[in-house]
């Protein structure tokens, strides 16, 4: 595999991972509300969930879903419902920072589930595999996944760190409520796009 192909794959992975999407917004929100470690646990689940989805798509799952449109539609509706649930939780947040032991932060399994239901993740996996692998090469698929893993984790972690930076600079619950409602509106708007976009 050429160095230029590896660089191109890496740039694609960075652009797909760092651009705003549902997982990134939840990571940002996590960074504003919870200790840094909790946000990093969430994005670790999201990263591993994406890599599992990426490999499954590379092995033919996306083709299978195209053959069964009802399955694809059900996945879309489940994703929208889950994102709306997370938006509602965020919008109703009081702005009071939780105690250290509070377990309401999105966790590892939430990260995995979000990627399974995230249309952005499906699109990134399908388009990346379609463009950069021949469809028959296990080696290309595994190399691409190995490149994607650290790039995805670091990209998502940057959103959590951005949230932690905001947390240090937004101390008043009233300001945090405003930020959370703004993030909730953005997250809900992704649902509008998914339904009518």
Lowest-confidence pick of 32-41, 45-54, 94-103, 175-184: 94-103
H helices within 133-197, ranges in order?
138-169, 173-196
Rounded distance between C-alpha atoms, residue 178 and residue 115, angstroms? 26
Phi/psi for 125 (5° steps) reads -65, -50
Per-residue pLDDT band at 62 (split at 50, 70, 90): low
Residue 102 sits at the vertex; the CA angle it makes with 97 and 105, to the nearest 5 degrees, is 80
Token pair listed for 31: 């960074």
pLDDT greater than 60 at residue 175: yes
Please, are residues 187 and 86 in contact by the beta-carbon 8 Å criterion?
A: yes
Please check the confidence at residue 172 and state whether its pLDDT lies above 90.
no
Q: What tens digit of pLDDT does each residue of 65-99 get?
A: 668 778 767 777 777 777 777 778 777 776 666 55
Local confidence band at 170 (pLDDT 50, 70, 90 cut-offs): confident
| Contact yes or no for 151/124 (Cβ under 8 A) | no
Q: Is the pTM of this model over 0.85?
A: no
Band of pLDDT at residue 154, cut at 50, 70 and 90: very high
pLDDT (tens digit per residue) in 104-116: 788 999 999 999 8
């Amino acid at each position: 595999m050429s160095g230029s192909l590896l660089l191109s794959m890496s740039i694609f992975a960075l652009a797909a991972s760092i651009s705003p999407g549902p997982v990134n917004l939840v990571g940002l929100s996590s960074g504003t509300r919870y200790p840094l470690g909790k946000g990093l646990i969430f994005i670790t689940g999201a990263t591993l969930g994406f890599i599992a989805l990426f490999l499954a798509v590379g092995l033919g799952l996306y083709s299978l879903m195209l053959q069964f449109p009802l399955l694809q539609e059900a996945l879309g509706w489940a994703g929208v419902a889950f994102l709306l649930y997370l938006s509602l939780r965020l919008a109703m947040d009081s702005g009071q920072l939780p105690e250290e032991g509070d377990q309401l932060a999105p966790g590892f399994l939430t990260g995995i589930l979000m990627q399974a239901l995230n249309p952005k993740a499906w699109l990134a996996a399908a388009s990346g595999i379609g463009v950069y692998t021949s469809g028959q090469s296990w080696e290309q698929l595994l190399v691409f996944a190995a490149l994607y893993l650290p790039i995805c984790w670091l990209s998502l972690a940057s959103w959590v760190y951005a949230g932690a930076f905001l947390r240090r600079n937004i101390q008043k619950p009233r300001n945090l409520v405003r930020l959370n409602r703004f993030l909730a509106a953005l997250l809900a708007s992704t649902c509008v796009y998914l339904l009518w976009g």
